[in-house]
Structure 1
């Protein structure tokens, strides 16, 4: 049976693409401070749905107003800034990205538009697959399109694993017991995301987020999906 979790490679999976992309976004922001860059999946209200999910599940599992939260592939930091605006003002929000330009851009937005949040929001350049990276554990791990981009790289690690195969172990490394992993994807189906995440025995499906359903040629589906997992102590 064909493994549908394997995607074709694309320039969207290259570091150079994202360095160039966020360098341009930073330049645009310097010319127009109101231009804080692209919000991925805005056509599907994915960011709003992710935030609404966390707000609706406050004080469930590890989700509180004071949660420690990490955003993988943070880009321009838009998701974390939105979380802060929506009430997570006592949380510790950290964004990581392997693009140096992404982190420069996010920090510039932070210092110029959210100076009051300097104690709450932070960013750092990280290769999440680097075995030398020793992060703390977080209450919540967020991914909005990052696994999609990772999958398009086609890269393999020294262990021989693809980055997609190694991804669940990164989430396990980052999450506290009873922590929440919330991921949004446009390249993987809900079923595929569950298969990928649950390849790590500690990660178990918790809830899914509903999106409008379309039908084409007798087949029903959505163009995007958001799935939440819990890290269970085994």
Structure 2
């Protein structure tokens, strides 16, 4: 049976593409400080739904997954940092929030926004350049790990590792390394179906599905589906 989680290589998976993209976004911001860049999946309200999900599960004593105002967070492939900035505005101000990206231009851009627009968040939010697949990368462990379209992008890179493993194969190992026990890994994707995403993340046996976020469903040719999915995982 064909492995539908394997995506074709694309320039959207290259570091150069995102360096060029965020360099342009940074230039636009320097000319107009009100222009803080694009919010990915804005047409699906994905970011808002991710934030609402965390807020709705805040201090839930009925669950083993621990989410509160002091939860530490890391945003993988943070881009312009928009998701972290919005979470900070929602009240996650007592915690450590780290945004990482393999694009240096992304990190410079998000730091500019932090310095110019969100000065009061400087004690909470930080941004760093990182290759999350480098064995030496060790940012510590976090209560919440976020991914809004990052697996989508890097899955298009065509990169392979030892034993011919793809980025998709190795990605769950990255999450396991940085997610605290009973933590929450919240991921949004438009390239993978919900079933494919669950299969990919649960493959190693160290992470399990916790909850999903519902989006509008369309039907075509008798098959129902959605153009986007968001899943929350926790440790086994």
Settle same-fold status: TM greater than 0.5: yes
Q: Does 1:150 align with 2:118?
A: no
Q: Does 1:132 align with 2:136?
A: yes
Q: Does 1:24 align with 2:28?
A: no
Name the residue aligned to 1:170.
174
Q: Does the CA contact (< 8 Å) of 1:172 and 1:200 recur in 2? A: no
By how many angstroms is 1:151 displaced?
Answer: 0.6
CA deviation map 1:72-92 (0-9, x unaligned): 000000000010111112121
Name the residue aligned to 1:54.
54
SS in 1 for 2:164: coil
Within the candidate set 94, 99, 106, 1:102 is matched to 106
Q: Give the Cα separation in 2 of the matches to 1:231 and 1:127.
A: 23
Q: Does the CA contact (< 8 Å) of 1:13 and 1:151 recur in 2? A: yes
SS in 2 for 1:83: helix
Q: Does the CA contact (< 8 Å) of 1:67 and 1:91 recur in 2? A: yes
Q: Does 1:5 align with 2:16?
A: no
Name the residue aligned to 2:235.
231
Q: Give the Cα separation in 2 of the matches to 1:88 and 1:134.
A: 23
Name the residue aligned to 1:70.
74
Q: Give the Cα separation in 2 of the matches to 1:13 and 1:211.
A: 26
By how many angstroms is 1:158 displaced?
Answer: 3.9
Unaligned ranges ≥5, structure 2: none
Q: Give the Cα separation in 2 of the matches to 1:130 and 1:40.
A: 26
Q: Give the Cα separation in 2 of the matches to 1:214 and 1:89.
A: 38
Unaligned ranges ≥5, structure 1: none
Q: Does the CA contact (< 8 Å) of 1:75 and 1:97 recur in 2? A: yes
Name segments (4+ residues, structure 1) moved above 2 Å: none
Q: Does 1:194 align with 2:198?
A: yes
By how many angstroms is 1:191 displaced?
Answer: 0.3
Q: Give the Cα separation in 2 of the matches to 1:92 and 1:83.
A: 12
